[in-house]
Chain A
Amino acid sequence: MNEEEIYREHVLDHYEDPFQKGECPGVTHAHQDDNPLCGDVVRMELRIDEDGKIADAWFDGTGCCISQASASMLTETIQGKTVDEAKEFAADHMLELFGARLTPNRQKCCLLSWRVLQTALFSPKDGEANGG
């Protein structure tokens, strides 16, 4: 029995027309990782201001529809949130945000950007002038 559709409209929308895909101007924190099993790559770049707010969030990457669409959704969600709020955004929240039910294998695709974000929050970009 086929479950609900994974490639829902909003998933495809994010995949085809992603939110802030590219380089983050004035980036202060960044991290990149991949899923060696399928070759999905996601990079998250953040500009965190003095008040501990994610003033700007961008992502970049290549890979399957699930990995890239979820990265776009996550980027949009954390834009403007505080670092503490982003840290509290758990894996379950990410799966909820994605919406469609995913099998364990595809959950890995969906959670790649979330993993990258959680590390990026702790990864100040060395040698980068802190714009502010």
Chain B
Amino acid sequence: MTTAQTSRFDPATLRADFPILAHEVHRGVPLTYLDNAATTHAPRQVLDCIRETMERHYANVHRGIHALSEQSTELYENARGKLRQFFGAEHADEIIFTRGTTESINVVARSWGDANLQQGDEILLTEMEHHANLVPWFQAAERTGAKVRCVPITDDGELDMDEFAKMLSPKTKVVGVVAISNVLGTINPLETIVAAARKVGAIVVVDGAQQAPHQRVNLAELDVDFYAASGHKMLGPSGIGILYGKRGLLRDMPPFLGGGAMIRRVTTEGFEAAEPPARFEAGTPPIVAAIALGATVDYLAQINMDAVEEHERTLANLAQEKLLALGGIRVLGPTADKKVGIVSFVVDGVHAHDVAQRLDKHGVAVRAGHHCTMPLHKRLGVAASSRASFYVYNTVEDVDRLVAGVEETQKFFRRGK
């Protein structure tokens, strides 16, 4: 098996770090896990961190005077520091721990949105957004009277930047955009979008769920206002994610959830909110998951994010090429050079669920459905698609198993035709 073509790291060696990959989901069939855009598996280093934290350092954070509480607090804040570094943020207090991308965007829509939006304002989103970057804004629009508009995509699955330029106006208060589409894999031109938004005074909220795991991100350079990401899509545990917000914006924002940790003082008359990031971390946070996310970004940084991107692009290109060579297959989205790590496809005459069900027999795990992007699927004119998404531990063999499985599926449903 060839692995040399991919990169500076050897995925075959790396796989030894991931216990679940050695596990047979169906007896006698190796697991080919290609559902990484939905969630990813954790390496031993992250699993060890979880165990060690629970066994030796666990207590509530920011509360106690006792030794364990101090250790736990230090580890928790160290993790915040690691995330600051990984994402290239200027200050650690710009990193808020949340449950994930969805919660992060909801915090922005509730807190910043409710305080700043009003009738006549526009929220500019795109047709390729995940529901997580649509629904919170529809809700904010209902509360404030602002209006949501969606920038269309081109037939090639890229943002229609001419339309974006036309739709952007002084009325636009928020531009919400997905950095990398979870269906098309399209990499959106964030620099151009930020520069244009600045001119009309709109803030830019980026759904980074599919970018953070797969590309080097430098938030200070990108100059976005808010950025959301999920730990479980980047080799970490579920239930933890981050919201990055510019310090100046966060300091002016009211808290969203109220409770412990987010206050400076409470009286019987009312409360004073704490400074960020605590202001947005009400209640006991996912302590262990946050610490484990610190270990996760250590692991990714060690592999090197540029190498990660290169590896995934190579695999996705290969998969796209081989699937198209089968014939009777439509791959959604732009050409391989404009996307990363994701190949969504439709098999002529076979529903996506039947494709996924059939592939499962071969141990190949892909996602089937609309992938939380109903408007996008409507635009593409398909009810559902199958999606293969790659990560650091995938190999050329995985691509071969996918393609062989799809070929068998085609034959299976074409019997007698």
Q: How far is the CB of B285 from chain A (nearest CB, A)?
A: 32
Whether B351 and A1, one on each chain, are in contact in the complex, defined by CB atoms closer than 8 angstroms, is: no
Question: Count the A residues whose beta carbon is within 8 Å of the partner chain — how many?
Answer: 19
Indicate whether A7 reaches chain B with its CB closer than 8 angstroms: yes
CB atoms of A39 and B26 under 8 A apart: no
B374 close to chain A: CB less than 8 A: yes
Task: Known contacts A39-B384, A64-B354; decide if A1 and B374 are in contact (CB<8 Å).
Answer: no
Please, which residues of chain A bring their CB within 8 A of the CB of B357? 6-7, 106
Binary per-residue interface labels of chain B (25-44) against chain A in the complex, 1 for a CB within 8 Å, 0 otherwise = 01101000000000000000
Cβ A39 vs Cβ B412 within 8 A: no
A56-74 with Cβ < 8 A to chain B: 62-67
In the docked arrangement, what's the CA distance between A103 and B87, Å? 40
Q: Contact between A63 and B351 (Cβ–Cβ < 8 Å)?
A: yes
- B358 contacts across to A, CB distance below 8 A: 7
When distances are taken between beta carbons in the complex, the residues of chain A under 8 Å from B415 are 12, 16
Q: Known: A1-B27, A7-B412, A16-B416. Contact between A39 and B354, CB under 8 A?
A: no
Inter-chain CA distance A67–B416, complex, in Å, is 21
User: Closest approach, in angstroms, between the C-beta of B30 and any C-beta of chain A?
Assistant: 14
Interface string of B377-417 (1 = CB under 8 A from A): 10000111000000000000000000000000000110110
- Does A36 make an interface contact (CB < 8 A)? yes
Interface residues of B in 185-216 (CB under 8 A from A): none
Are A38 and B413 in contact, CB atoms less than 8 angstroms apart?
no
Q: How far is the CA of A16 from the CA of B412 in the complex (A)?
A: 12
Residues in chain B near residue A6, CB distance under 8 A: 357
Query: With the chains together, A42 CA to B4 CA distance in Å?
Result: 49
Considering only residues 341-361 of chain B, those with a C-beta below 8 Å from chain A are 350-354, 357-358, 361
- A37 adjacent to chain B (CB < 8 Å): yes
In the bound complex, do residue B384 and residue A1 qualify as a contact, i.e. CB atoms below 8 Å apart? no
In the assembled complex, how far is the CB of residue A70 from the closest CB belonging to chain B, in whole angstroms?
A: 13
Docked-complex contact A38 and B412, CB < 8 angstroms: no
Contacting residues of chain A (86-128) with chain B, CB-CB under 8 angstroms: 106, 109
Known interface pairs A38-B383, A39-B370; A65-B354 also in contact (CB < 8 Å):
yes
Contacts of A37 in B (CB 8 A): 369-370
Beta-carbon contact of A2 and B351 below 8 Å: no
Which residues of B from 150 to 167 have beta carbons under 8 Å from A? none
Complex CA–CA separation, A24 to B416 (angstroms): 28
Which residues in A have their C-beta under 8 angstroms from that of B27? 1-2
- A125 vs chain B, min Cβ distance (A): 26
Q: Which residue of B lies closest to A1 (CB)?
A: B27
How many residues of B are counted as interface, with CB atoms below 8 angstroms from the partner's CB atoms?
A: 23
Given contacts A12-B415, A106-B357, contact A38 B352 (CB under 8 A): yes
Q: How far is the CB of A22 from chain B (nearest CB, A)?
A: 19
Residues of A within 8 A of B368 (CB): 38
How far is B383's CA from A65's CA once the two chains are assembled, in angstroms?
14
A37 to B361, CA, bound (A): 22
A14 CB, nearest partner CB in chain B, Å: 13
- 1/0 per position for A3-19, CB-CB distance to B under 8 A? 00011000010001000
Interface centre among B350, B352, B357 (most CB of A within 10 A): B357
A66 with B412: in contact, given A2-B26, A37-B370, A38-B369 (CB under 8 Å)? no
Q: Considering only CB atoms, which chain B residue lies closest to A15 in the complex?
A: B413
Complex alpha-carbon distance, A64 and B354, angstroms: 6
CA distance A106 to B357 in the complex (A): 10
Contact, CB under 8 Å: A36 / B351: no
Partner of B383, one of A12, A39, A106: A39
Who on chain B is nearest to A103 by CB? B357
B69: min CB distance to chain A, Å: 42
Q: List chain A residues, Cβ under 8 A from B370.
A: 37-39
| A38-61 contacts to B (CB < 8 Å) | 38-40
Which of A2, A12, A38 lies in contact with B384, CB distance below 8 A? A38
User: Which chain B residues lie closer than 8 Å to A66 at the CB level?
Assistant: 353-354
Contacts of A64 in B (CB 8 A): 351-354
Q: Please name 12 further chain A to chain B contacts, defined as beta carbons within 8 Å, in addition to the given A65-B354, A67-B351, sorted by A numbering.
A: A1-B27, A2-B29, A7-B357, A16-B415, A38-B353, A38-B368, A38-B370, A39-B384, A64-B353, A64-B354, A65-B350, A106-B353
A-B CB contact pairs (8 Å), 20 listed: A1-B26, A1-B27, A2-B361, A6-B357, A7-B354, A7-B357, A12-B415, A37-B369, A37-B370, A38-B353, A38-B368, A39-B377, A39-B384, A40-B351, A63-B383, A64-B352, A64-B354, A65-B350, A66-B354, A106-B353
**B interface residues with partner A (beta carbon < 8 Å):** 26-27, 29, 350-354, 357-358, 361, 368-370, 374, 377, 382-384, 412-413, 415-416
Please report A residues at the B interface, Cβ cutoff 8 Å.
Answer: 1-2, 6-7, 12, 16, 36-40, 62-67, 106, 109
> When A and B form their complex, which 3 residue pairs have the shortest distance between CB atoms, in order from nearest?
A39-B383, A64-B351, A64-B353
